[in-house]
Amino acid sequence: MRKNAAPLVLAALASLCVVAAPSVARAQPSASARQEAGRHFRAGVGAYQSGDYATALGEFQSAYRIAPHHSVRVNIANCFMHLGRPIDALNHFESFISEATTAGGLAAAQRREVETQISELRGQVGEVQVRIEPASVRDPIISVDGQPANASGVIRMMPGRHTIEVTADGFATGRQEFVASAGQRAEVSITLRPPTAAVVSTGAGSTAASTTTAGSSTAGASTTAATTTAVATTTQPNTGTTTDTTTATSTGPNATVGATGATGSSTGPEVGAGNDVVGPTDRRRGLPLPVFIGAAAGTGAVAIAWGVFGGLAMSANGEFNTIARRVETGAAQPNDVRTGEQAASRARTFAAVSDVMMGLTIAGAVATTVIAINTQWRRPAAERVYIAPSVHLAGAGVMVGGSL
């Protein structure tokens, strides 16, 4: 989604500030450091104008790291918006206002503009405050979908279902599913409990102790699953040897996986000689191979178009930069201003088309991957020849089945 680039323009006009007047709240960088920061900043502006937001983000971050100035945060936030990362953009816009206020104030017009962007971004993300019980828990660690999160304040996340986990010394891990809604703040309570001990029977009168942790809760609903493994042994007569004959595993309520030779019904695959397995998954047919070929070819064509328009955008932007340098050095030609405006217009148009092609390429790559996973690359085992032993009234022999 293309956002209004006005904040970036305002920050670009402040590029001299990045080089000459870093924020007073930090140590003054050297003259060489300011020159290096300025070089990264100008490279970031060029990449941004050509639509290469990932490169622009890296350049702006380098400029801020070398010679920190709050104006650069606006550029960083704009890059994050174009890259579809509203949470990072929101954090940088808020830091910009805080740092600008500390550095000596902020123009009312720019404050209003940035605050408008902040308001729009807050409407795109969800916020959650995690409340941990008991209150005696010290130094808890919170993660969202496996990623560390702020344990002392509001956690921002994209709309949708997330898994929140809390760990602390002396307690079992607490876990809860949470559905975040855009533009809304919610509170989630997670209660941590000490680990509990359980006794598991291993047969033959022996027992083994194990430690289990508290189960997971999902939005007020709980789910309990048990896993049991039983092994039956048979002693062959006159040999004294013991052979495992049946292994049955039960996972969750009423879920049974059968094994060949077990008493009762079996949900396992049918196994025949000749190393062929015929089961429910093998009988499932996937998509025809031409579907995958067509999807891959279409994605490749769009990717080529992305590269072509990206190259055109970079070429037009290079032409604009060349004219801008002539203007800066006083060597401008009579038609340079008009030519530069035309080059900038072409660069913006080509960059917009390149963005569209990039999105289509990514979508095509995802679709092609899904199609590849579901493509029928070879005929099912049920359609191939297999050989299996057979016993009937007339005697014993082998059975040949399947098709060529």
> Tens of pLDDT along 379-400?
554 445 555 565 555 555 656 5
User: Is residue 45 exposed (0-12), middle (13-18) or buried (19+ Cβ within 10 Å)?
Assistant: buried
Q: What is the pTM of this model?
A: 0.45
Hey, what CATH topology would domain 6-122 get? Answer: 1.25.40
Per-domain residue ranges for the chain? Answer: 6-122, 126-191, 289-373
DSSP helix/strand/coil, 85: coil
Instruction: Please work out, in degrees rounded to the nearest 5, the angle formed at the alpha carbon of residue 102 by the alpha carbons of 98 and 104.
Output: 125
Handedness of CA 178, 183, 184, 190 (dihedral sign): positive
Q: ω into residue 134 within 30 of 0, thus cis?
A: yes
What does the pLDDT look like over 331-362, one tens digit per residue?
767 777 778 888 888 889 999 999 999 999 99
Q: Which superfamily does 126-191 belong to?
A: Carboxypeptidase-like, regulatory domain (2.60.40.1120)
CB distance 224 to 215 below 8 Å: yes
> How far apart (Å, rounded) are the C-alpha atoms in residues 149 and 155?
7
Instruction: Please work out, in degrees rounded to the nearest 5, the angle formed at the alpha carbon of residue 146 by the alpha carbons of 153 and 86.
Output: 60
Q: Which helix (H) or strand (E) holds 174?
A: strand 174-180
| pLDDT computed for residue 224 by the predictor | 36
| pLDDT computed for residue 398 by the predictor | 54
Tally of CA atoms within 13 A in the half-sphere of 101 that contains its CB? 9
| pLDDT computed for residue 64 by the predictor | 93
Secondary structure (DSSP) of 90-112:
HHHHHHHHHHHHHHT---HHHHH
> How far apart (Å, rounded) are the C-alpha atoms in residues 120 and 93?
12
Q: Which residue has the tokens 């890296």?
A: 58
Confidence of residue 317 (pLDDT cuts 50, 70, 90): confident
Q: Residue 18 pLDDT more than 70?
A: no
| pLDDT computed for residue 106 by the predictor | 79
> How far apart (Å, rounded) are the C-alpha atoms in residues 20 and 72?
13
**Long-range contact list for 130-136, CB < 8 A, 24+ apart?**
130/155, 130/164, 130/166, 130/187, 130/188, 130/189, 130/190, 131/187, 131/188, 131/189, 131/190, 132/166, 132/168, 132/174, 132/189, 132/190, 132/191, 132/192, 133/189, 133/190, 133/191, 133/192, 134/191, 134/192
Please, what is the average pLDDT of the chain?
73
Closest C-alpha to 383, from 275, 283, 270, 274: 283
| pLDDT computed for residue 24 by the predictor | 42
